[in-house]
Amino acid sequence: MSKGLLSPIDLGPYHLPNRVFMAPLTRNRAPGTVPNALMAEYYAQRATAGLIISEATPVAAHGHGYPDTPGIHTTEQVAGWRGVTEAVHARGGHMFLQLWHVGRISHPSLQPDGALPIAPSAIRPQGEAVTPEGPRPFVTPRAVTLEEIPGLIEDYRRGAANALEAGFDGVEVHAANGYLIDQFLRDGTNHRTDRYGGSIENRCRFLLEVVEAVTGVWGPERVGVRLSPLNPFNDMHDSDPRATFTRVVEALDRFGLAYLHVTEWGSDEPGAAGPPFDLQELRRRWGRVYVANGGYDQARAEAAIREGRADAVAFGRLYIANPDLVERFRRGAPLNIPDPATFYGGDAHGYTDYPTLDGTGT
């Protein structure tokens, strides 16, 4: 069979039916931070994806940065997620949990005991936090001490172990989009002078130690990593993203992970060091499954796979509005249009009520 978007793919120990992956999508539908039956229905509707990557899921109470995001750090959360994975597996799907810590992209109103958010360095991001009381200006975070870092790595290890208990098929380490690990990687947010800052090798250290801890739970063949080398989201930048992220990928490649998931949004800043950064350089340096993400439609995704620029493509907004996205791609059918007003928070409306081709919402 010729390789295409709807062709099967081997991912670690799994033989997946297609290369249409569901990207991680924060939906803020977990009151009390515990996954629920509505979430189980939502994910089960999308179980025909080659792989579902869960919404970003904090590994610790101090890792939350948005209201009503589900965690993976309490027994209640583990039980709630188990209901989700059982629903997905009952429909033949595969699902990885995305392990998350927001770092400085939080607010004292979302932190235990109203504490300051933590970050590699005490640098306040531009913009506003999303709090239960509405938008609030970001605060200057507290720089984590060297002595605290092993505890953070343990948070990721425990989150990975909880994901295993909850019945997931693997985990993805969220090292993208301006959250804690990305804050360590990029020199715009990491001004440390100890062994976790300064050189690229030092700025990579936190990610590599997290990956080592997580693969100790799952084995490398059931772990992926997500990066966003050029994404400015959450006030992020790096003086030389090409040098930083080629080194990151080379270091990750040695683990033998299941996949690398790259968010392709963004571009080099004017005056950045070196020539423009072609993200395909990362793909060429990566020895296993490469998952592309960034506003793809079916035609672009098919071309990327056919031309060898990706092995699979993760779709975000299209999956919000089209639970049967694989079948719509298969038939060349029209797509539902997503409603941005219902992306974050709310109830079943704009969440589980998008119709499938047979006219149902399930």
Residues annotated as catalytic (active site), given as ranges: 179
281 touches 246 (CB < 8 A): yes
Instruction: Give the angle subtended at the CA of 287 by the CAs of 286 and 288, to the nearest 5°.
Output: 100
- CB within 8 A of 335, min separation 6: which ones? 318, 321, 322, 325, 328
What b/e readout covers 214-227, taking b as 16+ CB neighbours within 10 angstroms? bbebbebbbbbbbb
d(CA 169, CA 163): 9
d(CA 108, CA 298): 41
d(CA 168, CA 96): 6
311, two tokens: 């092995």
Specify whether the backbone of 226 is left (phi greater than 0), alpha (psi in -120 to 50) or beta.
beta
